[in-house]
């Protein structure tokens, strides 16, 4: 059988690597992929958003399962296009993926389903929004409705900042015309964050091991927001009691509400949670695996990923109960190495050295994100370059193993956080 992974980041490399371990798969393609997916699989030069070309390729190659990494092709309807052609695809339809592609839609579903989340208001014109922010207690969060490459969420500490955010999103269209047509203004919640990714098909919901991301660029959670600078799995914050509460209060009612709205959800439902003093609250939903959360998650997964994803697509997920998914008991830590300047402007094409040395270390896997090959040379090709991931008997040892590998890898301007997983490692 053959699989196709759509995307080109660290998450997609982890998917290709894990799928390629399935004895049922003879080949795993990745479109367009990176230098790492070209080693663990076979790259196909098709852009992740070129849905027509992807459908043609899947038909020609008789692909048995396509797995979509990023949100944009889902929001553009890649699952609908594949399903129309009878091609098996893992990922929600365009309508169902509005849970991620429209913040307004997601908040309305949460309100309908009684899912705990920050109180909010929706605006489709800047004037009432401007009046509203004069009456708020701060901090508040102003969010562009549509996808904005993770940048359309602005935390505001004062009325002036909120007015400026409304201007940027709704008047200057900084995040795109469609994305900024509506905004959500909500109370900013306080607490540690937790990523809960669940497999969903029909009535079956199987939460995967809890993970924690590090969104800020610099140590100590300082600096600007990024796509994610590192992650670890399992996150000790996700105790069985808390996970049961999140399942009952967030995942189950959302999946049922989507079904009632005739937009049944199938794929990964990723609840970005914040654990407040009043209990867990949903910050946002994503409709795909997180990046870099997927890298440590799949490093620990022992169950055949292809079987799991195929069962989801074929509505047989119930065959696996949560207890039948096998995990390596050891935790995993992932450290993202970035191009200097990320998440702002950065240069590409820097030569990466030391990878072979680092890859020899035990229990380490180096997932590529923004990389490409130029002959024999490995070059940087994006903001997030590598997701260096390691297992260890404890979180502290997994962290040590990951940083041992990071130390051996060099490229001009390389930057990374040095405190991934520290918040979960007991002192001493």
Site residues for ligand GLY per CB under 6 A:
213, 227-228, 286, 290-291, 293
Q: Judging by beta carbons within 10 Å of its beta carbon (0-12, 13-18, 19+), is residue 181 exposed, middle or buried?
A: middle
Nearer to ligand GLY, 149 or 351 (CB): 149
Residue 335: CB minimum distance to ligand GLY, A: 14
**10-19 and 305-313 helices cross at what angle (nearest 10)?**
100
Nearer to ligand GLY, 195 or 380 (CB): 195
What tokens were used for 109? 């579903």
- As separate numbers, helices (DSSP H) first and strands (DSSP E) second, the chain gives 15, 22
C-alpha pair distances (Å), 311 with each of 27, 202, 223:
19, 11, 41
Q: What's the rounded Cα separation, in Å, for the pair 328 and 251? A: 25
Contact 29, 5 (CB under 8 A): yes
Nearer to ligand GLY, 189 or 289 (CB): 289
Nearer to ligand GLY, 227 or 267 (CB): 227
51-86 exposure pattern, b = at least 16 Cβ within 10 A, e = fewer: beebbebbeeeebbbbbbbbbbbbbbbbbbbbeeee
Closest CA to 342 of 228, 174, 419: 228
Residue 214: CB minimum distance to ligand GLY, A: 9
Nearer to ligand GLY, 291 or 363 (CB): 291
Residue 148: CB minimum distance to ligand GLY, A: 12
Residue 137: CB minimum distance to ligand GLY, A: 28
Residue 266: CB minimum distance to ligand GLY, A: 19
Nearer to ligand GLY, 152 or 228 (CB): 228
The alpha-helical segments, DSSP class H, found in 281-394 are 294-300, 305-313, 355-359
* Radius of gyration of the chain measured on its C-alpha atoms: 21
Residue 12: CB minimum distance to ligand GLY, A: 12
Cα torsion for 401, 230, 285, 127, to the nearest 10°? 170
Nearer to ligand GLY, 311 or 420 (CB): 420
The alpha-helical segments, DSSP class H, found in 114-207 are 126-133, 159-166
Nearer to ligand GLY, 293 or 363 (CB): 293
N-to-C CA span, the chain: 49
Residue 195: CB minimum distance to ligand GLY, A: 7
Residue 333: CB minimum distance to ligand GLY, A: 15
């Amino acid at each position: 059988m053959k699989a196709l992974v759509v995307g080109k980041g660290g998450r997609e490399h982890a998917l290709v690597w894990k799928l390629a371990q399935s004895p049922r798969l003879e080949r795993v393609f990745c479109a367009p992929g990176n230098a790492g997916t070209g080693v663990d699989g076979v790259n196909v030069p098709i852009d992740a958003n070129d849905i027509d070309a992807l459908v043609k390729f899947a038909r020609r190659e008789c692909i048995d399962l396509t797995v979509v990494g990023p949100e944009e092709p889902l929001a553009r309807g890649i699952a609908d296009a594949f399903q129309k052609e009878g091609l098996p695809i893992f990922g929600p339809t365009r309508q169902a993926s509005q849970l991620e592609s429209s913040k307004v839609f997601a908040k309305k579903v949460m309100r309908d389903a009684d899912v705990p989340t920050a109180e909010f208001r929706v605006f489709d014109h800047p004037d009432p929004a401007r009046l509203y922010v004069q009456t708020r207690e701060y901090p508040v969060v102003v969010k562009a409705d549509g996808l904005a490459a993770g940048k359309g969420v602005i935390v505001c500490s004062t009325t002036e900042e909120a007015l400026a955010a409304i201007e940027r999103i709704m008047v200057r269209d900084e995040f795109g015309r469609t994305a900024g047509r509506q905004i959500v203004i909500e109370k900013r919640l306080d607490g540690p964050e937790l990523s809960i990714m669940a497999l969903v098909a029909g009535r079956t919901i199987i939460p995967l091991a809890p993970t924690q991301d590090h969104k800020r660029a610099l140590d100590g959670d300082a600096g600007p927001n990024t796509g994610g600078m590192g992650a670890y799995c399992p996150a000790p914050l996700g105790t069985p009691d808390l996970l049961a509460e999140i399942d009952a209060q967030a995942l189950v009612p959302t999946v049922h509400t989507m079904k009632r709205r005739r937009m049944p959800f199938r794929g990964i439902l990723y609840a970005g949670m914040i654990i407040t003093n009043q209990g867990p609250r949903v910050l946002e939903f994503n409709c795909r695996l997180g990046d870099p959360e997927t890298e440590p998650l799949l490093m620990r997964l022992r169950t055949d990923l292809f079987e799991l994803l195929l069962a989801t697509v074929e509505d047989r997920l119930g065959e696996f109960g949560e207890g039948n998914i096998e995990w390596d008991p050891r935790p995993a830590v992932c450290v993202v190495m970035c191009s200097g300047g990320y998440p702002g402007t950065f240069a590409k094409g820097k030569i990466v050295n030391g990878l072979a040395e680092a890859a020899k270390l035990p229990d380490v896997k180096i997932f590529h994100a923004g990389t490409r090959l130029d002959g024999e040379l490995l070059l940087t090709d994006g903001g997030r370059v590598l997701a260096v991931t390691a297992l260890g008997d404890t979180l502290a040892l997994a962290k040590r193993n990951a940083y041992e590998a990071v130390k051996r890898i060099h490229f001009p301007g390389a930057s990374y956080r040095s405190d991934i997983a520290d918040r979960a490692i007991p002192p001493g």
